[in-house]
Structures are given as structure tokens and as C-alpha cells.
A and B are shown apart, each in its own frame.
Chain A
């Protein structure tokens, strides 16, 4: 037991004491944070730009030769209406830069469905804004006969649908019920991307620098492989704690500043939790993690370092196969392809997690998928322990099938 503890401590410390571990882990969130900051700064800059554009729009003249645009609306929008006779002089003012812009609705607007916009300068934002103002003035004027402002707005923008869904005879909580199992699915993807590879690196490194022979002189293969697996779990937990802390900081920033916008009426304490769905999600997460860690260990044992690294890429690609058929996975769970990837061990964790998130996997299907994953993980782990002493000392070539299944 004390040897196992030493192996775990050694494996854990070897990884977390590396600068690269923290650089890699910090770099990704920092990049996202920088993007958020840039978006925040850009939006502030946008606000300043909008103020300037609003001021400049007051210097835009409007001429309506069509008789379709409401003069009252033009004034209330902050623009100044002019008579059609002033068209030439106003256009020259814009041309010389003495006026910011001119919107001209021609007499034949009904026939041509075209109006003219003249803008001073090459400011794309301002130019677009003048065009939009022209469009809004025309639309607003045409909608005006409808009646009240509320009706006009409704006609222009439409109305939002409030959807109530029913499940098992009662009102369901709708989209928010996806959040917790969805977060667990995201967690699995993070673990897959950040953590699973450590066990491959750990074994391949020991083979590459020949420390494996030393390790196996003083340790049983079982102690060494269990120590490595437990260390990977601890490394993963360290990463998750780190990301959880970052998520908490992000949430705090979102709640206390206007830098990050949360959905309206978002209340983290009121998130609905479907116990069955959450338990299955956790099951898929844990068993999926063990399965992939065991697969990585097996690859590292069977192949020399470089080949192991190449071969391991399959285990980063295959779990994302469900995303290729995502619409079918979401809408047609009985489809044979969806059924296959639900039960095929390497695609099962992600497919089942996604289906569990959207609620289209039955308890029976989830149990079967979880059982297949667990059985495969057990077989792979058993195989790892069996071939570990042979593969661990094979530094140059992949372990042959004959060697794998030979008695010793």
C-alpha cells in the first residue's frame, strides 16, 4: 500500500510540477478571457461610436418627394425635413463636407422601390446607419396608419413565443433542464481533451527513457498501473478544481459587472435537476473516463512512444463521431447509426451523454450503454495488467499478437 502511495505521489508530482502543465491549463482559459475582454472593450468602444453616429445623424437632411414619409416621424427621429427644391444645394453641402448626409425619397418611390442616400466621408458604420435610418423612416411612415406605437412595433418586430412542454403528464421545465447534464457532457469533453493523454505520456516516457525496467524491478506491474491510473484521476481533479475556480470567478464577474452578459432571469440556484438524468450523466462521465484512460494505457504498453502517440489520435477523433450526425442523434434516436454509436464502446460515452442531455435515451438504453462501457473498460484494464510486463520492456517494436496472448 505504501508503494502504491509512493507511485501515486510520484506520478502526480511529476506532472503537476511541470511548468508545461500549468502553462497549458492556464493558456486556454486566458485566451478565452482575453477574447471576452476584447469583446467587452469593443462593446464599450461601440457605445462611444454609437454616440458619435447619433450626433452625426442629426446633421442628416431628409427630403421626401414621394409623399410617403411622415414629416412628424422625421422630426421625432432627430433629422430635419427639407423641401424637394433644396435637393441640389443640400447634395452639394454633403459633397463639400458641410453636411453629414442626405436622404432623398424620389417621387417615383412606389414604382422603383429605391431611395437615395448621400453621405460625406467613407465611414462605413455611419453610411450604414444613414441607410438604416432611411429605411426605418420609410417603414415607420408606412406602418403609421396601423394605429398605436405598440401595434406598429408589434407589426415590425413580431412577438416572442412562450413555449410550455409537457412530460409524463406534467409541465416540464423546458430548456433549463438540459443545463446540468449538458455541463457534465462538456466536462467529459474537457477531461478527454486535457487529462486522458497523461497516462499515455507517463507510460511512453518511462519506456522511452528506460525507467520502466527500473520501475518494474521494484514494483509489481499491477501496483505501477493502478498508481498511474489513480494519479491521472488526481491530475484530472486538480484540473477540474482549477477550471471550477475559473468558472466561479467568471460567474462572479458576470453577476457583479456588465462585462459578461448572462441570460435574462438566470438563477443558478433555481436550475432544475432531473436526478435520473444526472446520475446517468455522472455514470457515463466516470466509466467513460476509466475506459479512455485504460485504452490510452493499453496503447502506450503495446506500442513504442511515437507509434503510441500516432495511434492515440483515434481516441481523440472517435468520441466526436456523434457530432457528425448530431441532428440525427438529437431527432432520430432509433436510427441504426445512432443505435450503433450509442453502444460502440469508444463512441458510447459522448453519444449517450448527448442523448441523455436532450432526454431521448431511455433508462434501458442508458443502462445497456453504460454496461457495455463498463465491461469494455474492465476487459481493457485486465489486458493492460496482463500485457504490461511484456510491452513495458519492448522499447523498439510494437508488441506482437503472439506475445500478447503467450503465457509469459
Chain B
């Protein structure tokens, strides 16, 4: 099967610092791929390179067989760690705007946006400005923006951060729905129970280098660990390099 995401010998240098060194991974359609690493390990830089925001110093970062550009917006759903919606604009207008960016007509985007808001219990808040919504509600809208248009690749950077268990389950269910529909999901999180629940394969990086790569079972076996959390801790424990949350 042709991979939806193909990162091959990818290196990235920003200024004088090498952020990522010869990284390799593939994400298949219908697969949830957990991309893990401590803060500052190079995850966001890799994602930004996948999105075409940074240019790879060497190697390739392909989505659906080529370097992603804004012309391929309809194929991609992105939920950044630093949430990025328009707080002075209503929830539905945010969804419509990004739906249009993904090639939907205004009417299609409005319909899809309202359907999503109903699904997550925010239909009655559709016309409220985003800044009037709670953090969790804003996060749901942010996920809605990512899944608008049923993209073939979803990149979700800590999508459940700060959510209560009920809403976390709701969002994870939505992610699973899209996986079942054939979307390739790159999932970034610090919550290892989510990795255990969702991920088919994982990649753990440290200082921009690959430390563990394979199915959840393979990685656990390789590190002789009972959980992914143990694997993660053992990788970072070696140098006591785990940095605190920013």
C-alpha cells in the first residue's frame, strides 16, 4: 500500500542548530501513528516540515507522494499544539473559513460545520465568538477544523490536552471514526494511555533522532517493557533529559 505520509532521511537545520537528524517513518492510510518525544525533541519542527512551513535541509517529507503545499489543503487536517483559531470570530465562521480553505463551498462548509458542532454538543453555541467559549469547547472546534472535509491525513498535536474525561473520550471516538474511514492519523501526545488505546505504530524521537520505531508490540518487546510509558521513560532516563511542560 502506498503510504499516506513518507518521511525519508529527513534532516532539518534551523540557524546553526540541527533540529532533526536523518529521520525515517511512514504512515499508512487507516493507521494511527503516535509521534512521541519530550518537549524540544523536534516533533513540531518535523510536523512543520511536513506542512511545508519549514524546508527540509535534506531528505524528503511527503504527504500522498509529494511535498505538501497549500494546493493540497483538501487532503490535510491539522490541529496544532498552540491552538490557532480566530477568537474574535464565531465558532461556525471559523469552521466555514477553514472549510473553504480546504476547497469546500461556503454552503458545504456551513453544513459540515453545523453537523460537527451538533456531534460535539456545541450547536447552540455556533454563533458565539470563540473567545466566549471555554477552553475545552474551543478545543472541540479546533478538532472540527481539522476534520472538516474528511481529509486523508490528520495531524493532531495533543488534541485532548486539558479536556475532561468525557470530552476526551468523545474526541478520541471522533479520531477513531476517521481512522476507520481510512484517514492516516499522526497523533502527538504525552498521555501514554491514549497511545496504548489508539496507536497502531509509534515513533519516539530524542534530540531529533529516532529512538524507537514500530508497532506498539514491537517497541515494547524491543525495550522489554510492559507499557509505552516505560519505554519512553527508559529512553529519556538515560540522560535525565526529560524537560518539564512549557
State the A residues within 8 Å of B (CB): 2-3, 6, 10, 13-14, 18, 205-206, 209-220, 223, 389, 393, 395, 402-403, 408
Select which of B15, B55, B88, B145 is within 8 A of A214 by beta carbon. Answer: B145
Ordered by A's residue number, 18 sampled pairs between the chains whose C-beta atoms are within 8 Å are A10-B86, A10-B93, A10-B97, A13-B89, A14-B88, A18-B88, A205-B88, A210-B82, A211-B85, A213-B82, A217-B53, A217-B73, A218-B73, A218-B102, A219-B70, A219-B73, A389-B53, A403-B15
Other-chain residue from A2, A205, A218, A402 in contact with B70 (beta carbon distance below 8 A): A218
| Per-position 1/0 for B79-104, Cβ under 8 A of A | 01011111111000100011011100
The distance in angstroms between the C-alpha atoms of A6 and B70, with both chains bound, is 14
Give complex CA distance A62, B19 in Å: 99
Cβ-closest chain A residue relative to B83: A210
* Chain A residues within 8 Å of B53, by CB: 213, 216-217, 389, 393
Known pairs A209-B86, A210-B84; A393 contacts B70 (CB<8 A):
no
B119 CB to nearest chain A CB (Å): 21
Interface of chain A, main secondary structure? helix
Residue of A nearest to B74 (CB): A218
Q: Which residues of B contact A408 (CB under 8 A)?
A: 54-55
Interface size on B, residues (CB 8 A): 28
* A223 CB contacts on chain B under 8 angstroms: 70
Please name all residues of chain A whose beta carbon is closer than 8 Å to the beta carbon of B93 when the two chains form the complex.
10, 13
Q: How far is the CA of A12 from the CA of B55 in the complex (A)?
A: 31
With a cutoff of 8 Å between Cβ atoms, the chain A residues found around residue B80 in the complex are 210, 213-214
Q: How far is the CA of A6 from the CA of B100 in the complex (A)?
A: 7
Q: Looking across the interface, which residue of chain B has its beta carbon closest to that of A207? A: B84
Q: A18-B88, A217-B73 are in contact. List 17 more A-B contacts (CB 8 A).
A: A3-B100, A6-B97, A10-B93, A14-B86, A14-B89, A206-B86, A209-B84, A209-B86, A209-B87, A210-B82, A211-B85, A212-B84, A213-B84, A217-B53, A218-B76, A219-B70, A389-B53
Write out the residue numbers on chain A whose beta carbons fall within 8 Å of the beta carbon of B69. Answer: 220
Q: Tell yes or no: B187 within 8 A of A by CB.
A: no
5 pairs of A and B residues whose beta carbons are closest in the complex:
A218-B101, A210-B84, A214-B84, A210-B82, A6-B100
- With both beta carbons as reference points, the residue of chain B lying nearest to A208 in the complex is identified as B87
Indicate if the CB atoms of B70 and A214 lie closer than 8 Å: no
Name the B residues within 8 Å of A402 (CB-CB): 15
Given B54, B87, B101, which contacts A3 in the complex, CB threshold below 8 Å? B101
Bound complex: CA of A14 vs CA of B97, how far in Å? 11
Known: A209-B84, A210-B80, A211-B86. Contact between A217 and B100, CB under 8 A?
A: no
| Residue numbers in B under 8 Å from A2 (CB-CB) | 100
Q: Which residues of A contact B87 (CB under 8 A)?
A: 209
Q: Quick check: B55 and A218 within 8 Å, CB to CB?
A: no
On chain A, the residues within 8 Å of B85 by CB distance are 209, 211, 214
When each residue 141-152 of chain B gets 1 if its CB lies under 8 Å from chain A and 0 otherwise, what string results?
000010000000
B48 within 8 A of A: yes
- Closest residue of B by beta carbon distance from A15: B88
Bound-state Cα–Cα, A78 to B15, Å: 92
- The answer to whether the Cβ of B51 comes within 8 Å of any Cβ in the partner chain is yes
Q: Are A218 and B48 in contact (CB under 8 A)?
A: no
Chain B residues within 8 Å of A210, by CB:
80, 82-84
CB distance from B226 to the nearest CB of A (A): 37
